[in-house]
Amino acid sequence: MSQQGYVAAPPYSQAQPGMGGYQGGFGAGPAQPLYGHYGGPPQTFNGPPTGMMKSPVSSAAGVPPPAAPSQYNPNVQQNGAHPQRYPPPAVSASYGQPLQSQYNNMAPAAPPQAQQLTNQMSSMNLGSYASGPMQSPPPPSNSLAQQPFQPAPPPVGQPLMPPGPQSPHMSPPQSPPANMPMAGLPMAGQQMGGPPLSGMGRPFPGPPPPGPGGFQQPSPGPAGPTGYPQQGGQFAGHMAGPQPGMMGPQPGMMMGPQPGMMGPQPGMMGPQPGMMGPQPGMMGPQPGMMGAFPGSPGGLAGPPQKKLDPDSIPSTTQVIEDDQAKRGGQVYNTNIRGQVPPLVTTEFPIQDQGNASPRFIRCTTYSLPCTADLAKQCQVPLACIIKPFASVPKNETPLYVVNHGETGPIRCNRCKAYMCPYMQFIDGGRRFQCGFCNCVNEVPAFYFQHLDHMGRRVDFYERPELSLGSYEFAATLDYCKNNKPQNPPAYIFMIDVSYNNIKSGLVKLICDELKTLLENLPSEDGSESSAIKVGFVTYNKVLHFYNVKSALAQPQMMVVSDTAEMFLPLLDGFLVNYQDSRAVIYNLLDQIPDMPAWRHSRQQSAAGSSSSSTPPCPPPEAPGKLKNRDDKKLVNTDKEKTLFQPQKGVYEQLSKECVAQGCCVDLFLFPSQYVDVATMADVPSHTGGSVYKYSNFQVETDGEHFLRDLRKDVQKSIGFDAIMRVRTSTGFRATEFFGAIHMNNTTDIEMAAVDCDKALTVEFKHDDTLSEEAGALMQCALLYTTVNGQRRLRIHNLSLNCSLQLSELYKSCETDSLINFFAKSACRAILNQPLKAVRDILVNQTAHMLACYRKNCATPSAASQLILPDAMKVFPVYMNSLMKSAPLVGSTELSTDDRAHLRLSIMAMGVEETQLLLYPRLTPLHNLDVDSEALPAPVRCSEERLSDSGMFLLENGHSMFLWLGQASPPDFMQSLFNLPSLAHLQGNMNALPELDNPLSNKVRSIISGLMEKRPNSMKLQIVRQKDKPEMLFRQFLVEDKSLHGGASYMDFLCHVHREIRQLLT
Amino acid sequence: MATYQEFIQQNEDRDGVRFSWNLWPSSRLEATRLVVPVSCLFTPLKERPDLPPVQYEPVLCSRANCKAVLNPLCQVDFRAKIWACNFCFQRNPFPPSYAGISEVNQPAELMPQFSTIEYIVQRGPQAPLIFLYVVDTCLEEEDLQALKESLQMSLSLLPPNALVGLITFGRMVQVHELSCEGIAKSYVFRGTKDLTSKQIQEMLGLMKPAASGQQGRPVGPQDAEAPCKFLQPVHRVDMNLTDLLGELQRDPWPVPQGKRPLRSTGVALSVAVGLLEGTYPNTGARVMLFIGGPPTQGPGMVVGDELKTPIRSWHDIQKDNARHLKKATKYYEAMANRSAVNGHPIDIYACALDQTGLLEMKCLSNLTGGHIVMGDSFNTSLFKQTFQRVFSKDYNGDFRMAFGGVLEVKTSREVKVCGTIGPCVSLNAKGPCVSENEMGTGGTSQWKVCGLNPSTTLAVFFEVVNQHNAPVPQGGRGVIQFVTQYQHSSTQRRIRVSTVARNWADAQTQIQHIESSFDQEAAAVIMARLGVFRAESEEGPDVLRWLDRQLIRLCQKFGQFNKDDPTSFKLSESLSLYPQFMFHLRRSPFLQVFNNSPDESSYYRHHFVRQDLTQSLIMIQPILYSYSFHGPPEPVLLDSSSILPDRILLMDTFFQLVIYHGETIAQWRKAGYQEMAEYENFKQLLLAPLDDAQEILQTRFPMPRYVDTEHGGSQARFLLSKVNPSQTHNNLYAWGQETGAPILTDDVSLQVFMDHLKKLAVSSSA
């Protein structure tokens, strides 16, 4: 992992000690316990919640500035004194029995988890409401609520407190933010009024009254506040706010809160403003945002009386929706350095004007800190995610190919960077200065061009390499292996024809599909037929090669039994042009499934080649034989990492050879038991290949799913035998690379093939100080072979800002990219570190990043407020989801293979895929407007969003579920399934019947549209509420507590908040 | 009594045996003094149209280490129904089935005319014959085409139930599966990897999946359900195989400039042997290897693939410069021994202009009784005819080939067997009749001859063990019994038993008798075999010197002369031709390597040590017939003086058939006289040798190289190199004379040789 990532944590932790005083105050180092809490001790839990609550803040912020102080004090006291011990008691006390009881119950029941938190929270809220204590004026309520929890806050609070003044503007926004996690409390805090602004209105119509109150507050810091809200505060605010808000009913209290809640969502921002006074600038922008937010949340609010309102915490769906609304559809010009692109989920056309489009490169932040110290301080990883072959929509221009003839591309003599817009032409155009290393180079005579009065070449717009961020060069022989022209690429299909696969019909399925598939091999634009050659190998315990030369009357099979020393038995006729040999290949594909002599035991051989391969189980003999080493006992131990490490030997060597030969391996697995994916997938994962896994494959149910994958895999655009290098301007450089790649040295990224879905993540480190004027440049050059066998260089350039202000950095962050980086680095880290350590590091770094923001960028506010940078407000939910993902969760209920598979998949994922994976899209279909083009807006991934009479579609890029509520109306069932009621639905359906009615058509088109859009095809699983398979579905509700262990979103926020507070103290 | 000539002829006809001495000296000492050892040429399967096999089992002596077969020389007590073994004197009761035996009702094996008798026994499973073609695909297009046609043709010659298999090789080795429809399936082996038999069988799927580490049992032919997919009955796969052969392509791997194609002969053979070993051990199966060049890679490689390094020559071998020789030879020897153990002969059909590595590979055939055929191209009638003749049939319609022969030699007490020279391997059967003194392949009384045909002849050497002072076994006879078990081409198991006896003679008193019992033809061939056998392991000059010494000693022993007076030297009739045989032998390619490649030498020697006496003699001293207007065709001296302008000569050297037109005849022919009606007789004359040649060509295996030449023709060298150079450019007196043609050589003529011999023989110092 990058140092920043995980290692960085230490300093912070140290800091804690510094906090010292507070710590003591905190009492039993809640800090540490925090983690523990995950593990289990309820206590810790309590601690955090309190902390989270920050109600203090909220209170402060809240309506009654005055009140705040009071609250504050109490808090403080509490903190100092009780934190540890008291928390529970306190709570109980304050709230009265109800709370306690709940609490207690909870604790025992679910020892470790987040649930508790939520419960607590909820209970708290409830209590507060119920108890009526709250009742009185909001403020009080706040205070009450807080008290119990707050222990922690005090410290924080103090600093903030003083801000009495702050409170004014802060409060509105802030409070909400602060609360966020704890939700419960916050509500109290709700004073946030601020947040309310936009959000408020909508959501809580009911509460309006309160709203006003909320607003009022804002009013204090009118303009400013609004602005703020957007930025960061939001979530903080929300959390807290929301709940109360929910309360709606209890106007008095809530009021403040509610709005706050709302605010959060919409304007999570609200909080921000609150947060940092410092970031006034930020604030400014935000306001706008706020407006945008119409609080969708409102709708949800309805039910949750009893619980802490989930709507109060930053909502990913909301953020996505807002971004889509704000930036969707607008042309994004890449001419501005350091410009932050819209979210990956947003659809927008891109115009290349000198920087690579975000489809190709996305960064964790578009404003790098100028110094290594700053970078270290903020802990925000500096990385970019490059998807060099990303597909470009039809309406955007494909990359231009620049051909400089025999001289080849023009490059800087020193650093070898390729000609690009960052090269500065000087000396009347006779020389150019490299933007990366500053070396001055002569311009070759043929390339000379005069400069205009701006110092730009006259042909600036005629040459893609001078005016665009992405383009291609035709490579010369110097760029080819051995200086020989490349052969056209080949696809070799290796099919496992062991008895079981024949019997199951899999082989027949594949062979039949290949007939059509081969007609559609990818080809370069414009060429009639594909230049790709195809070859076939089948295998069981031996390998069968096929001679399918067009001249033959019938195919020839050559059996190679020498699995110990594999060799290619034929030269001519193995790789053929499909069009030429179609008849023979047809003949072959017809025969393969029926060959009589396949009765051998199953075995997989070590022969690799590009494309599909379907090994059934670990090879029993011969090189590459794997021993079964699946051991559930290792889960949650220090040795768990061994489950992810490939076994040494053959496969390792094989992957090296494959890379050297430019051979990419895609693996289709149909295991019925443990096959050691970690090892077998080692080859694909180093050669730019993909691994597809279909457990307990059955032709009838999984066939179509597999074929869709196969089609996509074969037909997607791809480059072969690629070498990539990322060059950067002086001052920083690429240090770590994550992806389905192989690296022989520290700079050359080798990929046997790279397709449109493969992305690699590159981390940067400072070498030196960067200057704000010059910014930071990077150039990613990919040398590859096209499907036609031409050698090309694909260049992507990107320029970033540099700043001495951390606020700039936080402003330019991109959560989706960050999480992509963290996902990959965590997935790599688990190879070497215990899972628990990795998770701890993730949490620590999250806390550090946020704490740093709070400390340096946010306006001062109560410590009890959780303040998140606007650009990162949903970061915690992703981070939490990441830690709950299969590879990281450490549950014995998950299959080791699945975990390894997902781990490897993540390594090659782009930003879109990680985003979707970690925050699945849950789309309600029950109130579908069949006439509308648009997809229904997704809702948050939480069980609470489901309704008994609803129907939801959930997809994360790997799985797709159609969830049917118990009370699904019969007409739905009739329209969609042609069944009278839900009860008639057969289990294990995985496709919708084709019925000709608007609903069915619409739903099916939505589903097929999604399947089409995602890199992987997904198997549609239809689950009924309360059915057993629903368990599967539930693990994807990432905001909820995970079945396999892992906190709910809310609990996690609380936890992080507590961490932050510790860091800040 | 008839003459010895008649006796010898009769014995040969009846038993297929020619002894060097037909009277045996009665003591060891005397025997050694005879110079030519007591030995015989034995043709186990000599064709005996007059000998119908009997359909029952032979009766064996019950003594465990004897087991001799009841024969006409045994004493039989008809009343007691007891017979006495004439080797160990054990008295054996007849088996119950012989209950009706009496003086007038004797079983065949007791009748004197059945000293050779053949039994058909019902033993073991009957397995069809197996022919496994191992085909080199690194051939020129034309050669490959011709070979394919020959192979396709051969399918029609096989009995329908015979199993065939096909292995092709080039850079890789492919074992073709013959029973598959719709797709041509083959198993491929890397040409460079030496695999054990077990590995090969596993890779071919012939082993049951190794269960629990226990060695899988090869799927035997017993499993009638699962006949090996690589060996299928001809009638079933005829079409498939014909197509397969038709589609056979030249090895597709590119051969760069300056390289030889990579040819994995070694691995191909190993796979073939392994395949048969795993499927049909000890059943009649023939591996037929067709090669068009030397092995260039993998185990058994004879030469590297760089054309700039030429294949080894005798010169290289003598200088110890043949890099791969020892290793390759060792490899093929091991292979040959394995194959011999399984009873599978290996044929080599080598057709190429350059050497193909026969020197290294010869043991494959030499030890297993397989054929070697050497030609310039597969597209020659030499190969085509020869190959066709492999499948020739006898008067019963059976192939002239037998498999898995085991020859056992039993001797009476005064004699022991020293060894054999022939296409066989020792079975290491020790016994009382095995001499410690080895000659040829010795130390055993049983030999395995995997491939036999009616002309296969072994030289068997004996030793008289009677001590000098022991009494001559008075009136006794030395008895030798040859028991040959084999699988007949009709797949029957058969046993042929020949029992021969010779009288003892006291060499001191009866030396003349012994001398007159000398079979100089047999002796010449036997000595030649000894010489060739030695030549395999010794330097050429040493062998010649040894041969010369033997000859001189023999002349000293039997010649009549006055000491130191060469002119007085005289040899009796029974030895008169012997020195001449030796003279020609010395000049033969069997002992002379000059002008021959190592492969050619191996080829010649291969045939020499397996052909019967007549053919061997032709090899030693070619036959020369002369055709002229002066009379009917007549054999003439193999001498330069026989080369006359108005003669047509027909020379048969076994390997070549040369028709040589004398100078005048050639001119006439060129002038076209034979076309004119009035010169019909000339036409007849021209045709006469052609007809005779045709006759030889029709019957000989392998077919000889046919040369039609004339005076001054380049091909005349075949004749000129063979004839005794009685007239050379050196003896000027003959130069320009009309008799004969001078030979341009420094070789000594027979005359000089004889003079020298006489001088040495009579020399008191020698």
Look at residue B394 in the predicted model and tell me its pLDDT: 87
Nearest-CA distance B311 → chain A (Å): 28
Nearest-CA distance B601 → chain A (Å): 36
Q: What is the pLDDT of residues B285-339, one digit of tens each?
A: 999 999 999 999 999 999 999 999 999 999 999 899 889 999 999 999 999 999 9
Concatenate the DSSP letters of all residues of B51-110 into one string. Answer: -PPBSSPPPB-SSTTT-PBP-TTSEEETTTTEEE-TTT--EEEPPGGGTT-BTTB--GGG
Q: Are B184 and A555 in contact (CB < 8 Å)?
A: yes
pLDDT band at B740 (very low <50, low <70, confident <90, very high): low
Where on the phi/psi map is residue B631: left (φ > 0), alpha (ψ -120 to 50), or beta?
left
Residues of chain A contacting B204 with CB distance shorter than 8 Å: 561
Choose between A314 and B347: higher pLDDT.
B347
Cβ–Cβ contact A550 with B under 8 A: no
Q: Are A569 and B203 in contact (CB < 8 Å)?
A: no
**Closest in B180, B188, B202 to A558, CB measured:** B188
pLDDT surpassing 50 at residue B210: no
The residue in chain A having the minimum alpha-carbon distance to the alpha carbon of residue B203 is A561
Look at residue A210 in the predicted model and tell me its pLDDT: 37
- Cα separations (Å) of B270 from A933, B174, B277, B427? 72, 12, 10, 22
Q: Are A562 and B193 in contact (CB < 8 Å)?
A: yes
Look at residue B497 in the predicted model and tell me its pLDDT: 95
Asked whether the beta carbons of B649 and B643 are under 8 A apart, the reply is yes
* Interface A:B, Cβ pairs < 8 A: 68
Distance CA B407, CA B403 (A): 12
Q: Which two tokens stand for residue A657?
A: 């050879």
Q: Flag the least confident range among A74-78, A366-370, B265-269.
A: A74-78
Interface test with B, best of A538, A560, A585, A590 (most B CBs within 10 A): A560
Concatenate the DSSP letters of all residues of B502-529 into one string. Answer: EEEE-TTT-HHHHHHTB-HHHHHHHHHH
Nearest-CA distance B242 → chain A (Å): 14
DSSP A643: G
pLDDT surpassing 90 at residue A794: yes
Q: Which two tokens stand for residue A834?
A: 């215990």
pLDDT band at A598 (very low <50, low <70, confident <90, very high): very low
Cβ–Cβ contact A446 with B under 8 A: no
pLDDT band at A125 (very low <50, low <70, confident <90, very high): very low
Q: Do you know the residue count of chain A? A: 1065
**Closest in A560, A565, A601 to B188, CB measured:** A560
Asked whether the beta carbons of A567 and B190 are under 8 A apart, the reply is yes
Distance CA A854, CA A379 (A): 13
**Closest in B172, B204, B254 to A569, CB measured:** B172
Q: What is the pLDDT of residues A267-320, one digit of tens each?
A: 333 333 333 333 333 333 333 333 333 333 333 333 333 445 667 788 888 899
- CB atoms near residue B335 (< 10 Å): 25
pLDDT band at A30 (very low <50, low <70, confident <90, very high): very low
- CB atoms near residue A899 (< 10 Å): 24
Look at residue A135 in the predicted model and tell me its pLDDT: 37
**Closest in B172, B183, B203 to A561, CB measured:** B203
What is the rounded average pLDDT for all residues in chain B? 89
Report angle CA A513, A516, A517 to the nearest 5 degrees. Answer: 75
The residue in chain B having the minimum alpha-carbon distance to the alpha carbon of residue A574 is B252
pLDDT band at A603 (very low <50, low <70, confident <90, very high): very low
Interface test with B, best of A498, A556, A566 (most B CBs within 10 A): A556
**Closest in A545, A572, A601 to B252, CB measured:** A572
pLDDT surpassing 50 at residue A572: yes
The fraction of chain B above a pLDDT of 90, given in percent, is: 61
Residues of chain B contacting A600 with CB distance shorter than 8 Å: 205, 209
Interface test with B, best of A538, A557, A566 (most B CBs within 10 A): A557
State ipTM. 0.84
Strand pairing of A431-433 and A367-369? unpaired
SS3 at position A91: helix
Residues of chain B contacting A553 with CB distance shorter than 8 Å: 247
Locate the DSSP E strands across B137-181: 163-169, 172-177
Residues of chain B contacting A561 with CB distance shorter than 8 Å: 187, 189, 202-205
Nearest-CA distance A572 → chain B (Å): 6
DSSP B744: -
**Closest in A561, A571, A591 to B187, CB measured:** A561
Report angle CA A261, A264, A266 to the nearest 5 degrees. Answer: 115
pLDDT band at B731 (very low <50, low <70, confident <90, very high): low
Claim: this prediction has a pTM higher than 0.90: no
DSSP B569: E
Residues of chain B contacting A569 with CB distance shorter than 8 Å: 172, 174, 188
Distance CA B154, CA B389 (A): 10
SS3 at position B461: strand
Look at residue A625 in the predicted model and tell me its pLDDT: 61
Q: Are B205 and A562 in contact (CB < 8 Å)?
A: no
Choose between A265 and B695: higher pLDDT.
B695
Q: Are B186 and A556 in contact (CB < 8 Å)?
A: yes
Cβ–Cβ contact A555 with B under 8 A: yes
SS3 at position A544: strand
pLDDT surpassing 90 at residue A123: no
pLDDT band at A116 (very low <50, low <70, confident <90, very high): very low
DSSP A428: G
Nearest-CA distance A591 → chain B (Å): 8
**Closest in B182, B195, B229 to A554, CB measured:** B182
Q: What is the pLDDT of residues B685-727, one digit of tens each?
A: 999 999 999 999 988 989 999 999 998 899 999 998 899 888 7
DSSP A518: G
pLDDT band at B766 (very low <50, low <70, confident <90, very high): low
Q: Which two tokens stand for residue B461?
A: 């050497």
Between the ranges A104-108, A457-461, B444-448, where is the mean pLDDT highest?
B444-448
- Interface of chain B toward chain A, CB-CB under 8 angstroms: 172, 174, 180, 182-190, 193, 195, 202-205, 209, 229, 247, 252-254
Q: Are B185 and A559 in contact (CB < 8 Å)?
A: yes
Look at residue B340 in the predicted model and tell me its pLDDT: 93
**Closest in A552, A562, A600 to B189, CB measured:** A562
Nearest-CA distance B156 → chain A (Å): 24
Nearest-CA distance B188 → chain A (Å): 5
Q: Are B193 and A565 in contact (CB < 8 Å)?
A: yes
Nearest-CA distance B225 → chain A (Å): 14
Report angle CA A818, A824, A828 to the nearest 5 degrees. Answer: 145
Hey, what's the torsion of the CAs at A153, A155, A157, A158, to 10 degrees? Answer: 160
The residue in chain B having the minimum alpha-carbon distance to the alpha carbon of residue A597 is B180
pLDDT band at A617 (very low <50, low <70, confident <90, very high): very low
pLDDT band at B427 (very low <50, low <70, confident <90, very high): very high
Asked whether the beta carbons of A920 and A939 are under 8 A apart, the reply is no
Cβ–Cβ contact A572 with B under 8 A: yes
Buried residues in A193-204 as b, exposed as e (16+ CB within 10 A): bbbbbbbbbbbb
Q: Which of residues 838-897 of A touch B (CB under 8 A)?
A: none
Distance CA B554, CA B762 (A): 12
Distance CA A50, CA A150 (A): 4
Locate the DSSP E strands across A670-710: 691-693
